[in-house]
Amino acid sequence: MGYVDEGIGFVGAGNMGAALARAVRRQLPEAEIYVSNRSPEKAEKLAEELDAAHVDNQWIAQCCRMIFLGVKPDVVPAVLKEMGPDLKLRERKPLLISMAARVSLGELEELAQGCPVIRIMPNTPVSIGQGVTLYAAGEKVPGSAKAALLEALKSSGCLVGIPESQMAAAGVVAGCGPAFVDLFIEALADGGVYCGLPRDLAVRLAAEMTAGAARLALESGRHPGALKDAVCSPGGSTIRGVRQLEAAAFRGAVIEAVIASMGKS
């Protein structure tokens, strides 16, 4: 029996845990999925939606071979201590997958009772299968466990393996980035409204354009500066807008936002 066949457990059915559980269900329609949550109503609702079972943390520790920890970072130690005695008894250790920001592999491994541990950092677009999930695996993680996780999360979007030392910075770019881009979309739409567009059209155009420009940057492989240059005809309207953004220190503001979110000055 492999990691997936023996059941996939989600401890914590909040925003991110539920988004990943939905992605796993999309990818693995036949998998046995188990959900636990502090307030049972949330787990019951998610279990019903996903044709999964509502159980408790202990049950997941005893039975599942792939266990997602979707609780807040400060709750992770208590949850692992609660699950510890059952994890310790498991002959074939389950893979623990923590999505908790700022909880290191070292801290997780100390409480994992010998279970292999992978840290992941998903972002909100995983809820529509367009996310970025960063991952860093502990040394004890067998290749088969990592492959099973990547297969299970295939429908969440793209998966990017990075060294753990880059998790904080990459987490800001990929995880805080959606909020920064939302601000940009909102502001672009505001500009459109100021210039006479109806609000819904302005928001739609701004969002579609952002999605398309991002795809073009990815698929062309061209430097974003070169793509910008290609749109700026001499003396034209785009370069006038670029000048205004530079005067308002647009790029500097974005760089500072990344640094601020990292908690650095």
Ligand X SMILES: NC(=O)c1ccc[n+]([C@@H]2O[C@H](COP(=O)([O-])OP(=O)(O)OC[C@H]3O[C@@H](n4cnc5c(N)ncnc54)[C@H](OP(=O)(O)O)[C@@H]3O)[C@@H](O)[C@H]2O)c1
Name the residues that contact ligand X, by CB under 6 A: 11-17, 36-39, 42, 57, 70-73, 75, 79, 99-101, 121-122, 124, 175
DSSP class of residue 139 equals T
Q: For the CB of residue 76, give the shortest distance to ligand X in the complex, in Å.
A: 7
Query: What's the DSSP call for residue 46?
Result: H
Q: Which is nearer to ligand X, 99 or 202 (CB)?
A: 99
Minimum separation from the CB atom of position 64 to ligand X (A): 14
Nearest alpha carbon to residue 148 among 127, 188, 118? 118
Q: Which is nearer to ligand X, 99 or 172 (CB)?
A: 99
Q: Please, what is the minimum distance in Å from the beta carbon of residue 20 to ligand X?
A: 9
Buried b (16+ CB within 10 A) or exposed e, 124-149: bbbbeeebbbbbbbbeebeeebbebb
61 versus 202: smaller Cβ distance to ligand X: 61
CB-nearer residue toward ligand X: 38 or 222: 38
Cβ at position 19, least distance to ligand X in Å: 8
Q: Are 99 and 17 in contact (CB under 8 A)?
A: yes
Strand, coil or helix: what is 34? strand
Residue 66 vs 202, nearer CB to ligand X: 66
The amino acid present at 14, given as its one-letter code, is: G
Strands 33-36 and 53-54: parallel
Q: How far is the CB of 9 from ligand X (least distance, A)?
A: 11
SS (H, E, C) 161-220: ECCHHHHHHHHHHHHHHHHHHHHHHHHHHHHHHHCCCCHHHHHHHHHHHHHHHHHHHHHH
The residue sitting closest to ligand X, measured at its beta carbon, is 14
Considering the complex, what minimum distance in angstroms separates the CB of residue 197 from ligand X? 30
Amino acid identity of residue 151, one-letter, is: E
Closest CB to ligand X among residues 43, 203: 43
Instruction: Report in angstroms how near the CB of residue 239 gets to ligand X at its nearest.
Output: 36
DSSP string, 71-108: S-GGGHHHHHHHHHHHHHH-SSPPEEEE--TT--HHHH
The pair of structure tokens assigned to 103 is: 């909880």
Q: CB nearer to ligand X: give 107 or 190.
A: 107
